[in-house]
Amino acid sequence: MKVHPFKIPKPEKDALIYQEDQDYVFYDKLHQHEEIQVSYILEGEGTLIVGDTVNDYRKGDVIVIGSHLPHVFKSKINDQTKSHMKTLFFTQTAFGVDFFGLEELKEVKSFFKKSVNGFKLIHKSKKINPLFMQLNAASKFQRFIICLELIQILSKSKYSLLSSFIYQKQYSDTEGKRMGDVMEFTINNFQNNISLHQAATVAAMTKNAFCKYFKKRTNKTYFRFLNELRIENASKLLLTQSDYSVAEIAEHSGYNNISNFNRQFRSIKGVVPSKFKKTKAF
């Protein structure tokens, strides 16, 4: 199934779509689709932007992305290991307009409520891995049963929301391309100095128009988003690169001023970098 920016085509009669992605990078264009996405990361790690929020993903994560929720995976490239993800796509009405309104399915209503903002499991059930591993060889009917089992598990599991703000209008293709271009430019260049003029130029807008445009669709300024992306990168380096000093991590994350780095880190993470490393290291 080829995924186009902001659209996912599907066979006319298929209510449930199964997709397996295995490559050095996942699809890295900002996009949204009508279907709810339930993904299991078998291999790979990187940055995940959902709605207005910068997150990360890694091996073993179970991620749910709601209908029409813009998102982009930015894989950390590993020449030795391909990223690997198994995904189910379906809408809330895929199996009938009233299907999930049945009394017998009352216990899974929380799944759809949480999916609006997208969510990631905090503690994963031991049942999830076997269910995803069965999908390849399963018939369409068996995949339907597996999907219901996953929804039930996901409804009851502990989770963290992926996005805090939902833009109520659906993006047009033109608007989607504009936001996608801005996101891609930012993801690829956050380690460098980025000016408002550069970002506005990518969007083909004036600086004032771009500021209003971005704030309306993400509920935050462009530079707040840029700083969140940089701090998320710094957080990963703090936990994985023990031989890097805080100053080196700041530089690798787009900051040439250690004081500004510490201030931005504390603003976003609530603690200074050195304390974050001590409390989050594993």
Other C-beta atoms within 10 Å of 110: how many?
A: 14
State the Cα–Cα distance between residues 13 and 16, nearest whole angstrom: 9
Strand pairing report for 83-90 and 36-43 = antiparallel
Cβ-Cβ contacts under 8 Å for 176 (sequence gap 6 or more): 5, 6, 30, 31, 32, 70
pLDDT of residue 239: 86
Fold annotation for 190-280: Arc Repressor Mutant, subunit A (1.10.10)
CATH superfamily of 17-161: Regulatory protein AraC (2.60.120.280)
Nearest Cα residue to 187 out of 72, 83, 50, 27: 72
Asked whether this chain's domains 17-161 and 190-280 adopt the same fold, the reply is no
Q: What is the mean pLDDT of residues 212-218?
A: 91
Domain boundaries, the chain: 17-161, 190-280
State the Cα–Cα distance between residues 22 and 44, nearest whole angstrom: 10
Provide the H-helix boundaries in 95-221: 109-115, 128-134, 140-156, 173-189, 196-202, 207-218
Nearest Cα residue to 89 out of 188, 150, 143, 16: 16
Cβ-Cβ contacts under 8 Å for 245 (sequence gap 6 or more): none
pLDDT > 90: percent of the chain: 65
- The region of weakest confidence among 11-25, 81-95, 116-130 is 11-25
Q: Which residue has the tokens 């890097």?
A: 244
227: pLDDT confidence band, cut at 50, 70 and 90?
very high
pTM for the whole thing?
Answer: 0.78
Q: What is the mean pLDDT of residues 196-200?
A: 97
Q: In this predicted model, what pLDDT tens digit does every residue of 259-281 receive, in sequence order?
A: 999 999 999 999 999 888 877 65
Three-state SS for 2? coil
Nearest Cα residue to 221 out of 205, 233, 208: 208
Report the chain's mean pLDDT, rounded to a whole number.
89
Cβ pair 14, 164 in contact under 8 A: no
Cβ-Cβ contacts under 8 Å for 29 (sequence gap 6 or more): 5, 72, 180, 184
Strand pairing report for 159-161 and 119-121 = antiparallel
Q: Report the run of H or E that residue 233 belongs to, with start and end.
A: helix 222-240
Both tokens of 82, joined, read: 């391909």
Q: In this predicted model, what pLDDT tens digit does every residue of 141-189 receive, in sequence order?
A: 999 999 999 999 999 999 999 987 666 566 677 777 888 899 889 988 9
Which strands form 71-75's sheet, in the order they lie side by side? Answer: 53-57, 46-50, 71-75
Amino acid letter, residue 221: T
Indicate if the pLDDT at residue 8 is higher than 90.
no
